[in-house]
Structure 1
């Protein structure tokens, strides 16, 4: 999600709404987050139960007075029940889905609910539209603003389309019909829309508190929160973990000679190249003015090339301001005895990597110094 959109639009409600609607949505992050947390499995079970309940409602509605019992209606509801069982089983047995999975589920739920409105009793139509509120809740937490708006537009259209025949058939006064319809519209549209705006804002603020505003890398707080997702991976067979500290050499002279604006551009450029070089192997943070820290996990065969490749990854002959870096790394192989000792390995590795970086800087900079733990 874009962490600056709302700040740029502060005080401009139209701009804030536009920023909310157009911001990118990280489906992959959401799937990874759910699959990495114990609550992710609970959420999948809740989705399975809610999905099965739709099938139960389809069966129960067959016994309502006024329900169509034609071969087409019964056949379609039978198909819905089968699809509901299959989808519920997928929620239980498979990991939390990515973009295609969650969007497909929302579309399936919307179309299934709408089709049921056509064959359910007319008297139940408005009440049945309340089912769109359940789908709206799913869209609120797991779909982008654009898909949420698409769902809300469809749900509102179905609700109004259900109210019109009720009025035409008589048996209900206009005031009562307007009251019922408005209550349902508030539930299926007002609540999800307001909730999505609130959740998006809170999520944006929460993510911003973990990020460095200049580079978009993690800050120290964000790095501390991300350590546990990477560091243990180094315990796998033939794997290792490492803390890598990178510091730009003689950065003060860059600010003095070129100005702080160019200095900021250098910091951002280094951050982008570090992300490209190390990002797939772990997490990266900006921990000081011109200092970065990465925690990576990779194979024993790759770690040396990865760490020593940092200087090359940051170098480009076309750079307006050429800089070098000093790199220090503390590497922990999977067979190290430190894994089983009652010590704070991460803190120890960070301190040692930092001392290795200062050793590289004391030797003239533009070099890499590593050590094994």
Structure 2
């Protein structure tokens, strides 16, 4: 048996390496590149027999930062732990606060939130699917360009390419005009075609790192990892989603790495359909509920979550009636996914570890929170 150290991410390139160290870089645009993940594995005959993940290289203490900010300021911080899908952080936080306030955003705001959520889901999924297209230079270039166009649309609407800061307690801060909506609908048609091409590639990972319902329960897996294994965990069944008139949830059957890549591509097509529908059916009306300058939540405790691209992103919130939370705990899907690697990698050939890591979506800021 041999013990090896696997370092994932661009930061690994500057660390000392030796014969027992494997440095993996999943590409310049892959979400794993920003940060560092270390995995110690034991292999016998070039097959992994045990794995231990060592997180914590980027710990920022974001939960304690939440507890030192008022509820409006928290929204700005909440979109910074999963920087591939920052909109979902501020959305999850706002919905947690609105739940305790018993506050319902106006219909137009709810539809705009749905539009931006699915816009962001495509942006995140394409980041992980870029690894699948890496050997086809033309296709990889198109994936990269598509993500830049999505960021460009975000910038046109919000003024920010990466962190939109578009959500407000009780609504949203941005309202698109007809020109933006037309361009968004056109972009979605093109992205749907791109997703079909990605789904038609000879996807890797057949039979690798199988996930079943028991593993989903054991590690609290969610999102594409669960759905690719046939477990119908999907929270998109309320508000505008319930009015769309078509099935949102896609399910796989095999639960292997190939199924996870295929599901990401399929979900991009569904999300493009949702965005086009939102552009066409966006209701008129206000986009915010008027609130006092200082927002205080009632003394209470709650837990709520949203269906982020990687899985369930939620907040356990404890309020003592002040303008800041007494406790605010973040439930991030990346943390659970990375924990599951310790079981998923067992039985994997060392040469296939990169494929498994590419199929198990995580963002290091969402792990080291």
Q: TM-score, normalised by structure 1?
A: 0.22
Higher relative contact order (CA 8 A, sep 6+): 2
**Of Structure 1 and Structure 2, which has the larger fraction of its residues in strand?**
2
Greater Rg by CA: 1
Q: TM-score, normalised by structure 2?
A: 0.22
